[in-house]
Amino acid sequence: MRRRLTGGPAGGRTGGRTGGLTRRLPEAWRQPLAIVGGVVAFAWIVIALAAPVLAPHDPLAQELPRLAPPGPGHWFGTDQLGRDILSRVLYGARVSIPLTLLLVVLSVLIGGLLGACAGYFGRWVDETIMRLADLVFAFPTIILAMVVAAALGASLGNAVIAVLIVAWPAYARVTRGLVLGIREREFVLSGRLLGFSAWRSLRVDVLPNVTGPVLVLATLDIGTALLLLSGLSFLGLGAKPPSPEWGAMVASGVEVFDSWWVATFPGLAILTVVLAFNFLGDTLRDALDPRTARAIKERAI
Amino acid sequence: MALRSRRRRATTALLPVVLTGALALAACSSGGSSATQGQSSAGKTLVIDTSFDLKTADPGRTYEPTGLVVDKATYDTLLTFEGADVTKPVPSLAESYEMSSDGKELTLKLRKDATFADGTPVTADDVLFSLTRVRDMKGTPSFLLDGVEVAKTDDSTITLTSKAPNPALPYILPNPALGILNSKVAKENGATENADDKAEQYLNSASAGSGPYTLESFNVSSQVVLKKNDKYWGAKKPVYDKVVIRNVESATQKLNVQRGDSQVALNLSGDQVAGMGGGLQVKRTTSAYVFFLLANQDPGVSKITSNPKFVEALRKGVDYTGLLELAGEGSTQAAGIIPSMFLGALPADQATQRDVEGAKAALKESGVANPTVKLEYPSELTVNGLSFQPLAERIQANLKEIGITVELTPAPVTTALDNYRNGKEELGLWYWGPDFPDPSNYLSFLPGKLVGLRAGWKAGADKELEAAGEKAAASVTDEDRKQAYTDVQTKLNASGPFIPLIQPGQNIVTAGSVTGLEYHPVWTINVADLGAK
């Protein structure tokens, strides 16, 4: 019963030049950026899982000399309270990465479901949901997130809710557009005529044909979500001290500007995670978009 | 194909970025050079960098630190302080003063040779008008003269009468907010002795005082320019032709003073001045700000912090030396709530010491098992470059060692102040800056008074302490006052809900050429004291 409109990973397994592991990967994933992104993202996930083993110090212990520059014993230096920045950055991965992933998954679920309903049922359902989305779109993202976070009170949980509120409409809009294009297709109509319920029709006929683009959007969005979350913490609306959250760490580093290491390393952590997931998102897009298939073939390693 | 076209697009897209960057750089460098040029052509100019806290230059309305710096330079007061010594007021526009034995009447003899910047003499009428104006205009500093009757006895005598003994009055009069205005000029420009006063706009464009400098231009958000008063009456003439006070944030202040763009930087933190060198002078003085922890005594707010044994555990549990380390050089531990340089301050050896075992024992006695308390503090406020966050995090770590879990709840200043003023905070981390350099200002920490109520400490909560407070308020001679205030603080330290923590340092960096700089607890710096080598 599966009827995909877009093909699977473009190119298949034909263009491989070297044997072994690389040949088993589709070409789209053999781009330099894809490999860098994949490796960095994987590394961060390992760090998040293994932080207690990897960190040389307790991230909350104020036992080292204050504002010591990077050197033996504290490779990323120490902050104004004498805490080891390396350990804090490693533990920070446990705070930021799971929350960001959770946030994106929730936005995809909520936004996707609402968008699919809007596109599939049309009429007043469509009008209500899409006007609501327009309402959110009308505000600058970070400002609206700040307002919501400030109204709910400062905490990481509330920051996630705030970002969720500003993030779902993007998915709703994309999903709606895709569903609109598909719902009049023969196979969907015939499914309905065979007596499928709306829910089954959405799940079996529509869903497989819209997942690709939404997945690309979601992967690209991981970076944005992390930036927004850290941004809220930077402004004091997210993580509560002394939690080692990257945005909050950058904020504390701004106060001691001379000690560049306090803000730089958490900043680099944010940068690498955002870049890694953006590379992955780009790769995914290239892989799912038949129009870029030829360019991929030229660049594949 | 696709690849090539994409690359070309990238280069064209980069072009505007590079162009704007170059333009911005050019703008920066030209701005810098023009500033230095202006400095050399104008002769002796002093540039002071500070983070502005400024609303107005009208002495009757100002009470912000930067406003006080400006008004101290442009207006004279009846009495003043010599250098940084705030324990003894000295004559300025008044040549002598005398306090009656009951502390209710202050008689001041005026000088005859003092003149305003326009050459007219300073008279008793000017004094009468200026002081009455401040009191009755209901501006921010009006409270300084609450309940004080001002009267002119003859052409050179002014008497200030209060209903209750007011021995603090000679310490209040040096406040630049009580600067003497040229009443004729002020009245012509809308000044009145009541709330209808409209002189603020005029006083923001020109000064009408007798101070060593006059106001040349005034901008609340960028800079204030002072010009030398050529006809200054005092013995010590102003040194600089022009003084520019600029609004600059602290990181930039450091850069500016290092490259010689400015000569004085007022708001550097202890960490920022640590690596200073290159012919710059660093003046580290203990400031009069006292950071303290308050534990709410209202059982309705918290059953935990209103427990006296719990407060004792807090007092013994805080690592004071650890906090001093965060505040940097120049800071000291606050022995009592009254800052170390004021009359009646507790000697340093009476400061509370950390006692982990004692704290654990007190916590056990309190009967509260595994307490969790919320500590509120303003998140974005800094005092002399020191922010509350690291202090709060250190206190949290200290108290964890003795078994108290502290949950930090930073809030923007306005929100946090609301909770603090309404007495809704379980634990609070705040600071108190003196309104005037006299210990009587600190009686507000007693039960039923301003700050006492903020800690949920109602009148009648500690009868003995309140009696000691009344005694201190009524004593007149310096010796009696010293004794009484020491007594109040010892009692407050034993049973009060306040835990005095530290007095942060005030770090002022000046160029090697600037002399005579002293930090003053009321007006930060007196521009007129600054000389040149």
For B332-342, what is each residue's pLDDT tens digit? 999 999 999 88
Does the distance separating the beta carbons of A259 and B271 come in below 8 Å? yes
Using pLDDT thresholds of 50, 70 and 90, give the confidence band for residue A185: confident
Instruction: Give me the pLDDT at residue B382, please.
Output: 81
Q: Over 80: is that where the pLDDT of B4 sits?
A: no
Instruction: Give me the pLDDT at residue A67, please.
Output: 87
Q: Which residues of A touch B392 (CB under 8 A)?
A: 241
Instruction: Give me the pLDDT at residue A122, please.
Output: 83
Q: Over 50: is that where the pLDDT of A17 sits?
A: no
Q: What is the mean pLDDT of residues B376-401?
A: 88
Specify whether the backbone of B94 is left (phi greater than 0), alpha (psi in -120 to 50) or beta: beta
Give the tens place of pLDDT for each residue, B98-120.
998 888 999 999 999 999 999 99
Q: Which residues of A touch B407 (CB under 8 A)?
A: 240
Give the tens place of pLDDT for each residue, B258-283.
989 999 999 888 888 877 777 899 98
Q: A59 vs chain B: nearest CA distance in angstroms? A: 12
Q: Which residues of B touch A62 (CB under 8 A)?
A: 322, 393-394, 397
Q: Tell me the two tokens of residue B364.
A: 């056990």
Q: Which residues of B touch A292 (CB under 8 A)?
A: 2
Instruction: Give me the pLDDT at residue B9, please.
Output: 44
Does the distance separating the beta carbons of A257 and B251 come in below 8 Å? yes
Alpha-carbon span B193 to B513, nearest angstrom: 43
Q: What is the mean pLDDT of residues B205-221?
A: 93
CA dihedral B383, B388, B389, B390 (to 10 degrees): 80
Q: Which residues of A touch B387 (CB under 8 A)?
A: 255
Alpha-carbon span B527 to B505, nearest angstrom: 20
Nearest to A236 among B271, B392, B410 (CB): B410
Give the tens place of pLDDT for each residue, B480-533.
899 999 999 999 998 889 999 999 988 899 999 999 999 998 898 999 999 888
Instruction: Give me the pLDDT at residue B6, please.
Output: 42
Nearest to B394 among A62, A258, A292 (CB): A62
Q: What is the mean pLDDT of residues A3-30?
A: 53
Alpha-carbon span B268 to B508, nearest angstrom: 7
Does the distance separating the beta carbons of A241 and B389 come in below 8 Å? yes
Q: A84 vs chain B: nearest CA distance in angstroms? A: 15
Q: What is the mean pLDDT of residues A6-10?
A: 43
Q: What is the mean pLDDT of residues A19-33?
A: 69
A-chain residue closest to B396, CA distance: A242
Q: Over 90: is that where the pLDDT of A63 sits?
A: no
Q: Over 60: is that where the pLDDT of B34 sits?
A: no
Q: What is the pTM of this model?
A: 0.79
Q: Over 90: is that where the pLDDT of B125 sits?
A: yes
Instruction: Give me the pLDDT at residue B11, please.
Output: 44
Q: Over 80: is that where the pLDDT of B16 sits?
A: no
Using pLDDT thresholds of 50, 70 and 90, give the confidence band for residue B27: very low
Does the distance separating the beta carbons of B272 and A81 come in below 8 Å? no
Does the distance separating the beta carbons of A240 and B271 come in below 8 Å? no
Instruction: Give me the pLDDT at residue B43, please.
Output: 62
Q: What is the mean pLDDT of residues B129-152?
A: 90
Find the chain B residues whose C-beta atoms sit closer than 8 A to any C-beta of A.
Answer: 2-3, 251, 254, 269, 271-272, 275, 322, 325-326, 379-380, 382, 387, 389-390, 392-394, 396-397, 407-412
Share of chain B above pLDDT 90, in %: 48
- Where is B33: in which H helix or E strand? helix B2-41
Q: Which residue has the higher pLDDT, B441 or A291?
A: B441
Instruction: Give me the pLDDT at residue B263, please.
Output: 94
B-chain residue closest to A81, CA distance: B390
Q: Which residues of A touch B378 (CB under 8 A)?
A: none
Does the distance separating the beta carbons of A252 and B389 come in below 8 Å? yes
Q: Over 50: is that where the pLDDT of B463 sits?
A: yes
Q: What is the mean pLDDT of residues A87-105?
A: 93
Domains of chain B, earliest start first: 48-284+507-532 (3.40.190.10), 290-503 (3.10.105.10)
Q: Which of B271, B326, B386, B394 to mutate to test the interface with A (most CBs of A within 10 A)?
A: B271
Q: What is the mean pLDDT of residues B350-376?
A: 90
Q: Over 60: is that where the pLDDT of B33 sits?
A: no
Interface residue A67 vs chain B (CB under 8 A): yes
Q: Over 50: is that where the pLDDT of A274 sits?
A: yes
Q: Over 50: is that where the pLDDT of B2 sits?
A: no
Q: Over 60: is that where the pLDDT of B468 sits?
A: yes
Cis peptide before B141 (omega within 30 of 0): no
Nearest to A242 among B251, B272, B396 (CB): B396
Instruction: Give me the pLDDT at residue B140, please.
Output: 85
Using pLDDT thresholds of 50, 70 and 90, give the confidence band for residue B92: very high
Q: Which residues of B touch A59 (CB under 8 A)?
A: none
Q: What is the DSSP string of B325-386?
A: HHH-TT-EE-SSSS-TTSTTPPPGGGS----HHHHHHHHHHHT--S-EEEEEEESS-EETTE
Domains of chain A, earliest start first: 30-55+77-299 (1.10.3720.10)
A-chain residue closest to B4, CA distance: A295
Give the A:B interface size as CB pairs under 8 Å. Answer: 56
Q: Over 80: is that where the pLDDT of B36 sits?
A: no
Instruction: Give me the pLDDT at residue A5, please.
Output: 45
**Helix, strand, or coil here: B8?**
helix
Contact predicate B465/B447, CB 8 Å: yes
Q: Over 90: is that where the pLDDT of B329 sits?
A: no
Q: Over 50: is that where the pLDDT of B84 sits?
A: yes
